[in-house]
Chains A and B, each alone.
Chain A
Amino acid sequence: MPFFEELLTEVNSILHEMVILFPKLILALLVFASALILIKYVNRLIKWLVRMSKIEEFIGSILPGGLRIPLSLTFTILASTGILITATALAVRIFVPEYTQFYGATLGYLARIASVIIISLIFVFGLDALVRSIKLEKKMDSFLLMIAFLLILAVLIDLTALSVETKSALDFGISIGMGLAIGAFAVWLFFGEHLIALGKKQ
Chain B
Amino acid sequence: MKDFGKLLMVLEAFFGGFYVAVSRNLFVPMLAYSGYSLQLISYVTLAAAVLSIFASYLIYNYPKIVESRTKLKLILLHAGERFVWFSLPFMLGSPNFMVATYAIAQALTIPVGVLITIAMFTQYQETEFVDLTIKRTAASSAASILGMMFSTYISAEIFAPQSYFVAYSTALLVGLVSTVTLVPYNISSEIKSVQKHTVSEEAEFKKINTFVLFALMMVGGNILGLSWSPLLRNLNAPVYIAVGLSLAGSVGGTIGPYLWKGYKQYLLAIVFNIVVTTSVMFITIPEIHLILSFLASMTFLGVNLLTTSIYSRYVKVFGVVKASMFLTSANAVGLLIASFITCFITSEPTTAIVFSTTFRLLALVVALFAIPETAITPPSITYEFGRIVYSSSVLGYTFTVTASKNMIKFMIEILALTFLIASLYFIYRIAGIIVGV
Contact = CB atoms under 8 A, between A and B. Distances in A.
A82 B427 CA distance: 6
Smallest CB-CB A-B distances: 8 pairs: A82-B427, A52-B416, A53-B416, A53-B417, A49-B420, A86-B431, A89-B434, A89-B435
B32 interface: no
B436 interface: yes
Nearest to B414: A53
Interface string B410-437: 0011101101100110011011001111
B420 A46 contact: yes
Interface in A82-127: 82-83, 85-86, 89-90, 93, 100-101, 103-104, 107-108
Nearest to B426: A82
A139 B416 CA distance: 42
Interface in A24-54: 42, 45-46, 49-50, 52-54
Q: Interface SS of chain B: helix, strand, loop or mixed?
A: helix
Contacts of B412: 52
Contacts of B414: 53
Contacts of A90: 434
Interface residue range, chain B: 10 to 19
A93 to B, nearest CB: 7
B417 A55 contact: yes
Q: Bin chain A's interface residue count.
A: 20 to 34
A55 B428 CA distance: 22
Contact of B420 (A53, A82, A107, A108): A53
A81 to B, nearest CB: 9
Interface string A52-91: 1111000000000000000000010011001101100110
Nearest to A82: B427
A93 B428 contact: no
Contacts of A75: 420, 424
Contact of A46 (B413, B423, B428): B423
A82 B431 CA distance: 6
Contacts of B428: 82
Nearest to A71: B420
